[in-house]
Chains A and B, each alone.
Chain A
Amino acid sequence: MSLVLENIVLKSGADIVIDTVSLTLRRGVMNVLLGPTLAGKTTLMRLMAGLDRPSAGRLLLDDKDVTGIPVRKRSVAMVYQQFVNYPNLTVFENIASPLRVARLPAAEVESRVRHAAALLRLEPLLQRMPAELSGGQQQRTAIARALVKRADLVLLDEPLANLDYKLREELREQLPPIFAESNAILVYATTEPTEALLLGGETATVWQGRVTQHGPTSEIYRSPLNIAAARVFSDPPLNELAVEKRGGAVITAAGRQLPAAGVLAGLPDGHYRLGFRCDDVTLGGDGTGFPGTVSVTELSGSESFVHVDVGTGIWVCLVRGVHDWQPGAPAEVSVDMHRVFVFDIAGNLVTGRS
């Protein structure tokens, strides 16, 4: 039971919006589309829903070709970034609306709505109007409406993006068990790697209209197959360094020579790009690290991200807890060479963390 995208292409005029995407989205797992704004996630969802027709390629739902079938004739539910509810209906009627359209018997409507409301903790709010709800409650109502329909395909397009971070944090934890109960093919688009990791399931990294990698979420996080997937799956941005391996040493673009330690040891000679995340580096060291100056420190609630200018670019270093480094202060960054990803010049993974 699955939705299969087979070599899907979408052109708009001369522009290729979606470039030959093949994906298999299975029922019973969370399918995450991870990519930055405008990468093509929403467009892919519109194609899956049948709102747009692909320029080439086929769309198979449970082995049936559904390529040309418009959205009205399919069983699709969608949740958007904006909170979309009927302002003149109560929460109960909002959730019930797709069932009313389908002319289900009243008792069935009642029981399905109650069940969805219980899952999303909306029971005390059923008689309220959307205007009387917080953003989180409004979005939970929209999600309940999508689930209650028992559609074959449920598309969630950055549903938490417009919520305050505390609400986002809470809903992120509440959603996975709720989705686990659904029998639909679930597709969830997000820009945030953390959200993808918490949702688990399978992830497709989307970059400039292409799917750069597809597989189990934590596997992609831990071994991205190309630099595009690694960049998409890194927040703060991936730290990068261009090097040349020559014998037992690697030479950086700035002319620094380092022993080829860790994963670099077994590489054949040539040019490479190293990629490593903020938690693969430490601030400070024994003098063998990369010298730089602090450009800014970003403080989230429990972590500090120190941006250090190392000459060849800016690297981000994670420091646990809240500490402020003064901009302009000298800093040394030590890179754990066992934890870097090595990409070739074309951007494909050569070797990963040991």
Chain B
Amino acid sequence: MTRIALDGIAHSYVRHPRTDKDYALRPLHHVWEQGMAYALLGPSGCGKTTLLNIISGLIIPSEGRLLFGDRDVTRLPTEQRNIAQVFQFPVIYDTMTVAENLAFPLRNRKMPKALITARVAEIAAMLELTPDLNRRARGLTADAKQKISLGRGLVRSDVSAVLFDEPLTVIDPALKWELRSKLKAVHRALDLLMIYVTHDQTEALTFADRVVVMNEGQAVQIGTPEELFERPDHTFVGYFIGSPGMNFLPARVEGNRAYVGGNTIALGAAYPELTDAVQIGVRPDFTTLTDGPGLTVQVRRIDDFGRKRLAHVTLDGLPLVATVPPGWAGDGSQARVGFDAPHVLVYRNDVRVEGVAA
């Protein structure tokens, strides 16, 4: 069993970093477990690619240690790390057939011929490449080429980790979900540690058991897709995960009540007295226009998404997005809005505060 441990890994392109801003990747402690699928998710420039390059050996981190099992590999070159990687653009060997491409990493490691053939057949079947095995790789479409790249990444069973660097960038949108589900199926079939870098939430949430949400060089939350949706630890996670993102309102919090302007909102838990910048956060999915009791809001616009409708409203001038329930009868510019108390979360300086069950 191999696991990969990040022991205070950090990277800065500045020689003597002083503030957080000097870090491309701020110090991070984390353990990647065998057999799990992780995604590094964040906007461009958030440090996810830096982290991936540290694991693959392209970058030597300026601080901390990287352990594969018990072995310190912080300074080892890529080829001694026993990893596989799939890149953004298809990397194939033009002169070889599809089968030879898939066999290449095994052949270089002098595996017995029979084993190579069996493994290549297995991986090709998983990725539906079997009919093309004896074709020249260079003549295939971009989608097929990227499948070959994926196959070469997955063909070795003894790797410590398989790294994916935005592998679906060049794939036609209509085929993306197919490859996404294929990757997930492959992960279940093979007991490999996989790390997947992307800026697309659907790719990350669909693929991974655990998602690392990154922003400005910092891992702001590591959690399951459910956790990221239900209990974002950071306002950035609330904003970045979910379409549209979470509503945030500056508030004063006392016990299990939040005060936003002249309005009182019930909370699902009790909180100690909080200072500094306090906000409550609630997803549009748990903010609902209602015919029953609720806070009065001004309706600015209602967007029809077909399978759902979202209202853009203001509460005392503060913008909010709320779900319009199917049977909602209201019209005009005024409406009432209700919040689902257990899903109203409290943030202090952008970090979620844990309440005490009331």
Write the A200-223 contact mask toward B (1 if CB under 8 angstroms, else 0): 000000000000000000100100
Interface flag for A321 (CB, 8 Å): yes
Size of interface on B: residues with Cβ below 8 Å to A: 40
Query: Which A residues between 310 and 328 are near B, CB-CB below 8 angstroms?
Result: 318, 320-324, 327
| B188/A218 in contact, CB under 8 A | no
| A191/B173 in contact, CB under 8 A | yes
| Docked CA distance A317–B239 (Å) | 25
Least CB separation from B204: chain A residue: A299
Least CB separation from B175: chain A residue: A37
| A198/B303 in contact, CB under 8 A | yes
Write the B170-190 contact mask toward A (1 if CB under 8 angstroms, else 0): 001110010011001100100
Contacts A37-B174, A296-B181, A296-B185 given: A301-B229 contact, CB under 8 Å? yes
How close is A90's CB to chain B, nearest CB, in angstroms?
A: 23
Write the B32-46 contact mask toward A (1 if CB under 8 angstroms, else 0): 000000000001100
Interface flag for B241 (CB, 8 Å): yes
Q: Which residues of A contact B206 (CB under 8 A)?
A: 296-299
Interface flag for A173 (CB, 8 Å): yes
How close is B241's CB to chain A, nearest CB, in angstroms?
A: 5
| A197/B305 in contact, CB under 8 A | yes
| B283/A302 in contact, CB under 8 A | yes
Query: Which A residues between 155 and 179 are near B, CB-CB below 8 angstroms?
Result: 161, 164-166, 169, 173
Interface flag for B47 (CB, 8 Å): no
Interface flag for B205 (CB, 8 Å): yes
| A298/B202 in contact, CB under 8 A | yes
Q: Which residues of A contact B312 (CB under 8 A)?
A: 173
Q: Which residues of A contact B200 (CB under 8 A)?
A: 164-165
| B173/A299 in contact, CB under 8 A | no
Of A36, A277, A296, A297, the contact of B307 (CB 8 Å cutoff): A277
Of B181, B199, B243, the contact of A302 (CB 8 Å cutoff): B243
Query: Which B residues between 260 and 318 are near A, CB-CB below 8 angstroms?
Result: 283-285, 303-308, 312
How close is B48's CB to chain A, nearest CB, in angstroms?
A: 13
Chain A interface size band reads 35 or more
| Docked CA distance A301–B308 (Å) | 14
Q: Which residues of B contact A187 (CB under 8 A)?
A: none
Q: Which residues of A contact B284 (CB under 8 A)?
A: 302
| Docked CA distance A194–B173 (Å) | 15
Least CB separation from B239: chain A residue: A166
| B243/A301 in contact, CB under 8 A | yes
By Cβ-Cβ distance, the 8 closest A-B pairs, closest first, are A299-B205, A322-B229, A301-B242, A296-B181, A279-B307, A302-B242, A301-B243, A300-B202
18 further contact pairs, Cβ within 8 A, besides A173-B303, A298-B202, A321-B285: A37-B173, A164-B43, A164-B44, A165-B200, A166-B245, A193-B306, A194-B305, A197-B304, A197-B306, A198-B303, A297-B206, A298-B180, A299-B206, A300-B202, A301-B241, A302-B229, A318-B307, A322-B228
Residues of A in contact with B (beta carbons under 8 Å apart): 36-37, 161, 164-166, 169, 173, 191, 193-194, 197-198, 218, 221, 236, 277-279, 295-302, 307, 318, 320-324, 327
Residues of B in contact with A (beta carbons under 8 Å apart): 43-44, 172-174, 177, 180-181, 184-185, 188, 199-202, 205-206, 224-226, 228-230, 239-245, 283-285, 303-308, 312
Q: List 10 A-B contacts (CB under 8 A).
A: A165-B201, A166-B239, A169-B243, A300-B202, A301-B201, A301-B243, A301-B245, A322-B225, A322-B230, A327-B188
